[in-house]
């Protein structure tokens, strides 16, 4: 299976043809495609990508000095007069990164049954559930999400939810080399917008649902939705699985130019969610397909995951898996870290660590927390990310009104003043019955919430989920980071509380 993956490089002429260059280009073989001159090495092709802060054309000479054998450019006039290597001139470098990256990596997606998952919330959970169902000892399934890349027992870290196109195809090659036969890829709206999933056609594309987000990048809700809808075009996917419980999902199902399987609670859905509940023991869903009902269960916790579980099951069935076998395997797939992660200790409150970072997801997380311990109160530890999506902060505060206690804190300032971010969250809490406290140091806020909560209460820590790096508390320099895990801090707080009770 790996024999035809390039080991000695791809002829530059083939690269030029894939990029759409009109004239043939001769030169050394290309072994890698890079966008950062610091990653260039012998045999690499350097892509001069223009970004908001830097122009790759200005770094071409450094890439060549490091060993790059050719340069891909769309503004050749900005290059040095004589680089000494062939220059492949195209109308847009970013537009060809996917196709060229796929070729240089050996077109690994052609050897994989690929599923791409998009949506405002639930992408990582749905992707993880689906990959877990598809992964068997005899038929490995790779997984690429905001948490990282995995195949079997092999893991790799990633810097972006969906890596840049060359890195994406390089990771797919890595999966093929480890005997993967399938791959589930989380596709963010920004990735779809800037072409990171170009050169990839999925067997199935999944849409988990929609609410406004990332408007600092997309500008309008309409453009945000249109970016996600791009995944459901004939050159990007063959079949769609679309959750239609919101108007945007119904619109996508109606307008998609590929066959669509509708999933949701409406009577006209192809896979109808008859009933769904979530508790500390997991999520149970009863679905109906083609007149037959199937009981699904997953360890993942949260009401929002009812349709995620249904969508993961549906995608596996669309791929040809046996419906009952999929249902059985779902019960054994661990949820991703930081998505409804439950922590507790004897005599201590229940702590829930969740990635909820949109108003809709937060509202569901607070409601779920209340159902986990109906006799107790909900202590919510809430912040918002700096330097992005400022418009949704008041909405997060409004969603937080359903909690009994709210601990406003720093989630990651990224150059903004943490106190100013918290003040915007507080606007949505005006007039709330919740008791609101501000503790900007996140470690202190989580610890204080755990200490204040009783054994029948729930402490809900949201916004960061699985993340393990954070700006230093109060730092205005976005480059200043430290290791920080909400779950680790919560475990320590629970341990301290247990020792105090014992004493």
Give the integer Cα–Cα distance in Å for 51 and 54.
5
Q: Is the pLDDT of residue 389 over 70?
A: yes
| Residue 162, marked binder | yes
Sequence-distant (≥ 6) Cβ neighbours of residue 321 within 8 angstroms:
133, 134
Residue pair 287/264 in contact by the 8 Å Cβ criterion:
no
Q: How far is CA 315 from CA 117, 207, 383, 397, in A?
A: 10, 10, 34, 35
The pLDDT-based confidence of 477 (bands split at 50, 70, 90) is low
Give the integer Cα–Cα distance in Å for 426 and 157.
35
Give the integer Cα–Cα distance in Å for 320 and 307.
20
In the chain, the largest separation of any two C-alpha atoms, in whole Å, equals 80
| Residue 358, marked binder | no
Phi, psi of 165, rounded to the nearest 5 degrees: -50, -50
Confidence at residue 23, expressed as pLDDT on a 0 to 100 scale: 72
Residue pair 324/287 in contact by the 8 Å Cβ criterion:
no
What's the rounded mean pLDDT across residues 106-118?
96
Per-residue pLDDT tens over the stretch 238-260: 999 999 999 999 999 999 999 99
Query: Which segment of 400-414, 420-434, 463-477 scores lowest on mean pLDDT?
Result: 463-477
Query: Which segment of 219-223, 356-360, 362-366, 415-419 scores lowest on mean pLDDT?
Result: 219-223
Confidence at residue 281, expressed as pLDDT on a 0 to 100 scale: 92
Q: How far is CA 216 from CA 64, 201, 253, 397, in A?
A: 35, 28, 26, 19
Give the integer Cα–Cα distance in Å for 299 and 277.
12
Confidence at residue 1, expressed as pLDDT on a 0 to 100 scale: 35
What's the rounded mean pLDDT across residues 2-24?
77
Residue pair 60/79 in contact by the 8 Å Cβ criterion:
yes
Q: Give residue for tokens 């108007």.
A: 247
Global pTM?
0.90
User: Which tokens belong to 346?
Assistant: 């004897």
What's the rounded mean pLDDT across residues 118-144?
94
What's the rounded mean pLDDT across residues 191-205?
91
Give the integer Cα–Cα distance in Å for 219 and 249.
20
Residue pair 472/482 in contact by the 8 Å Cβ criterion:
yes
Confidence at residue 81, expressed as pLDDT on a 0 to 100 scale: 81
Q: What is the DSSP-derived secondary structure letter of residue 429? A: T
Cα 220 from chain centroid (whole Å): 21
Positive/negative CA dihedral, 455, 461, 465, 468: negative
Per-residue pLDDT tens over the stretch 283-331: 999 999 999 999 999 999 999 999 999 999 999 999 999 999 999 999 9
Confidence at residue 240, expressed as pLDDT on a 0 to 100 scale: 98
Angle separating helix axes 247-255 and 221-229, nearest 10 degrees: 50
Query: Which segment of 205-209, 411-415, 429-433, 442-446 scores lowest on mean pLDDT?
Result: 411-415
The pLDDT-based confidence of 3 (bands split at 50, 70, 90) is very low
SS3 (DSSP) at 113 = strand
Q: Is the pLDDT of residue 222 over 90?
A: no
| Residue 161, marked binder | yes
| Residue 279, marked binder | no
Give the integer Cα–Cα distance in Å for 397 and 201.
39
Domains and CATH numbers, the chain: 12-104 (3.40.1390.10), 108-330 (3.40.1190.10), 341-502 (3.90.190.20)
Confidence at residue 7, expressed as pLDDT on a 0 to 100 scale: 54
| Residue 485, marked binder | no
What's the rounded mean pLDDT across residues 275-285?
95
Q: Interior CA angle at 415 toward 412 and 417, to 5°?
A: 80
Give the integer Cα–Cα distance in Å for 311 and 239.
13
Cα separation of the two ends of the chain: 62
Q: What is the DSSP-derived secondary structure letter of residue 185? A: E
Q: Is the pLDDT of residue 212 over 70?
A: no
Give the integer Cα–Cα distance in Å for 49 and 45.
12
Residue pair 141/175 in contact by the 8 Å Cβ criterion:
no
Query: Which segment of 21-35, 65-79, 89-103 scores lowest on mean pLDDT?
Result: 21-35
Confidence at residue 468, expressed as pLDDT on a 0 to 100 scale: 79
The pLDDT-based confidence of 5 (bands split at 50, 70, 90) is very low
% pLDDT > 70, the chain:
93
């Amino acid at each position: 299976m790996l024999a035809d993956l390039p080991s000695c490089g791809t002829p530059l002429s083939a690269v030029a043809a894939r990029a759409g260059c009109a004239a043939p280009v001769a030169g050394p073989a290309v072994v890698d495609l890079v966008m950062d001159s610091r990653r260039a090495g012998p045999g690499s092709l350097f892509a001069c990508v223009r970004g908001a802060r830097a122009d790759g054309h200005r770094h071409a000479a450094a890439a060549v000095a490091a060993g790059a054998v050719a340069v891909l450019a769309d503004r050749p006039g900005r290059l040095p007069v004589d680089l000494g290597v062939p220059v492949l001139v195209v109308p847009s470098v970013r537009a060809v990164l996917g196709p060229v990256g796929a070729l240089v990596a050996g077109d690994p997606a052609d050897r994989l049954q690929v599923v791409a998952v998009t949506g405002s919330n639930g992408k990582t959970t749905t992707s993880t559930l689906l990959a877990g169902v598809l992964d068997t000892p005899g038929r490995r399934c790779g997984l690429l999400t905001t948490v990282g890349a995995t195949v079997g027992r092999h893991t790799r870290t990633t810097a972006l939810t969906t890596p840049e196109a060359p890195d994406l195809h390089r990771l797919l090659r890595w999966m093929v080399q480890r005997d993967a036969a399938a791959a589930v890829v989380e596709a963010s709206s920004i990735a779809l917008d800037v072409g990171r999933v170009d050169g990839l056609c999925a067997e199935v594309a999944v849409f988990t649902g929609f609410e406004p987000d990332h408007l600092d990048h997309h500008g309008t809700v309409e453009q945000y939705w249109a970016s996600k809808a791009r995944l459901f075009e004939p050159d990007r996917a063959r079949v769609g699985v679309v959750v239609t419980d919101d108007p945007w999902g119904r619109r996508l199902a109606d307008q998609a130019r590929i066959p669509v399987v509708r999933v949701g609670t409406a009577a006209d859905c192809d896979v109808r969610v008859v009933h769904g509940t979530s508790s500390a023991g997991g999520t149970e869903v009863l679905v109906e397909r083609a007149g037959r009902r199937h009981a699904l269960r997953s360890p993942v916790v949260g009401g929002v995951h009812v349709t995620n579980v249904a969508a993961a099951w549906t995608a596996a069935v669309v791929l040809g898996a046996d419906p009952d076998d999929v249902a059985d395997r779902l019960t054994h797939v661990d949820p991703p870290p930081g998505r409804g992660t439950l922590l507790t200790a004897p005599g201590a409150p229940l702590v829930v660590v969740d990635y909820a970072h949109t108003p809709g997801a937060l509202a569901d997380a607070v409601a779920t927390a209340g159902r986990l311990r109906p006799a107790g109160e909900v202590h919510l530890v809430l912040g918002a990310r700096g330097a992005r999506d400022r418009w949704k902060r008041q909405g997060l505060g409004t969603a937080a009104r359903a909690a009994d206690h709210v601990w406003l804190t720093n989630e990651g300032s990224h150059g903004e003043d943490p106190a100013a971010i918290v003040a915007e969250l507080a606007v949505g809490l005006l007039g709330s019955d919740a008791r609101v406290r501000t503790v900007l140091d996140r470690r202190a806020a989580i610890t204080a919430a755990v200490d204040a909560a009783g054994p029948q209460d729930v402490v809900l820590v949201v916004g960061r989920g699985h993340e393990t790096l954070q700006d230093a508390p109060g730092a205005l320099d976005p480059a200043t980071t430290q290791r920080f895990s909400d779950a680790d801090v919560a475990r320590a707080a629970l341990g301290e509380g247990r020792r105090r009770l014992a004493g």
